Amino acid sequence: MTKILNVDQVTKTYGKKGEKRYQALKGINFSVDSGEFVAIMGASGSGKTTLLNILSTLDTPTTGHVFINNDDISTLNANQMADFRSKQIGFIFQDFNLLENLTDRENIALPLTLRGISSNRVDPLVDKIATRLGIKEILDKYPAEISGGQKQRVASARALVHEPAILLADEPTGALDSKSARELLDTMEDLNKNDGVTTLMVTHDPFSASFANRILFIKDGKIGEQVKKNDKTRTEFYHTLIEHLGTEE
């Protein structure tokens, strides 16, 4: 199986030398295979957001290496990093991060237009992913004119339009009602199973995590245990997670 993501002994320390320093990540090691759907679970302050920022090239590790599609992103300069991000990484934010002055179509097209791809090539790609996510009828609307669930679908289309090597999602259901959250998770699961979209999602929510095939638990800056779905149904896997977390449904 091809490894899309490989994280090797990654640490992250904040604070200057001589000052009080805080180590957010303490030797993180894991990998994600092509076509996997992996969730990272952890409480607030566990290091999961720091890790996701490093994986998405928004931050850099203090030590260690991150390989995406065999490229060591830890060694890229700022310009190389921006270029790599625009081609290889799709990112879904919790709060959508759509530009209100652009239509939904223009928001989805942004990763392509920023790379200077011509409009006659952009439009078919936008139409393709919008059709796949069931939002083609709202492409000419603005973000203020659509629901939260539709906004997150537009954000998902923007993250996928350039066919990235990996889709990263940061608490993607955090700003959604339960119905919209379920619809988004169903879509992410469908894209993973039927389109082979490699996905890494950070979440604190066991229901969201139960849509993944493998869960990594992060605590105090370290990856500890992992739980695999194997042959369980999603509902069975959810109950396994609840038991693992020592909480009640």
- Please answer whether residues 147 and 180 qualify as being in contact, where contact means their C-beta atoms are separated by less than 8 angstroms: yes
Residues with Cβ within 8 Å of residue 226, at least 6 apart in sequence: 214, 215, 216, 217
Query: Which residues of the chain register pLDDT less than 70?
Result: 247-249
Q: What is the DSSP string of 104-118?
A: HHHHHHHHHHTTT--
pLDDT at residue 1, as a whole number: 73
Neighbour tally for 168: CB within 10 Å: 24
pLDDT at residue 28, as a whole number: 96
Domains along the chain? 35-63+78-245 (3.40.50.300)
This prediction's pTM: 0.92
Terminal CA-CA length for the chain? 35
pLDDT at residue 16, as a whole number: 82
pLDDT at residue 248, as a whole number: 38
pLDDT at residue 47, as a whole number: 92
Distance between CA atoms of 205 and 41, rounded to whole angstroms? Answer: 8
